[in-house]
Amino acid sequence: MKTTKAKNRLLAGPAARSACLIVMFAAASALAAETVMVQVSGLEVTPDMSESRVLRLLAAVEDGAMEYFFDAGHIVFNGSPVIADATHPAVLKTIAREGGARYLLEIRVAFAQPPGADEVAAVRAEYTLTRLLPNPGRVTTSGEIPLDEFASAVRTRAERLAVGFGSAAAAAAEREM
């Protein structure tokens, strides 16, 4: 009988209360987490632009968006960055839903290359956040992020600027989730 009372005291003590609070906190934070698929594509890409350079910058935009969502506690996965937005929207939504996403964030990045220059830079990002579950296909928000929002960062490397575009698009989209 003494061992049973001792076990009951352990289960009702501070350790049990702490364990209960940890489980409740974990459950509450899991409820707030959303699952998001991020798809990045090029916009206004011309044939004279370096394909490898454009893909590197698209990957940087994607990294920025995914890092933002991950740091905010969301579950995030991606499609492959593509130079031209050739995937049919219905196919993209099906892929996202099959991956378990509640939201699809599409980011389309416009590029510019000054005449005679080798460098390509991201100059604008358009984004669309679509809710997939429970009301499939409803656009939650969309917008544009111009280079002006990063005026203080213009002198940074192009990849860091591209990461900033991705992060800004994710932050704007998250406000509507």
CATH code of 65's domain: 3.40.50
Q: Which domain holds residue 28?
A: 1-32
Do 148 and 89 lie in one domain? The reply is yes
Residue 106 CA, chain-centre distance (Å), reads: 9
**Do both 25 and 13 map to the same domain?**
yes
Q: What angle do CA 65, 68, 73 make, to 5 degrees?
A: 130
28 and 41 housed in the same domain: no
Same domain, residue pair 136 and 157: yes
Domain count, the chain: 2
Per-residue pLDDT of the chain (177 residues; tens, 9 = 90+): 555 554 444 444 444 444 433 433 433 344 468 999 999 999 878 888 888 888 988 998 999 999 999 999 999 999 888 887 666 778 888 899 999 999 999 999 988 887 777 788 888 889 999 999 887 777 888 889 887 655 444 445 677 778 888 888 999 999 888
CA distance 116 to 132: 44
26 and 66 within one domain: no
Alpha-carbon distances of 48 from 85, 90, 163, rounded to whole Å: 18, 31, 23
**For residues 102 and 62, what is the distance between their CA atoms, to the nearest angstrom?**
18
* Torsion from C-alpha of 53, 55, 61, 63, nearest 10 degrees: -110
**Residues 19 and 56 occupy one common structural domain:** no
- The verdict on 12 and 90 lying in the same domain is no
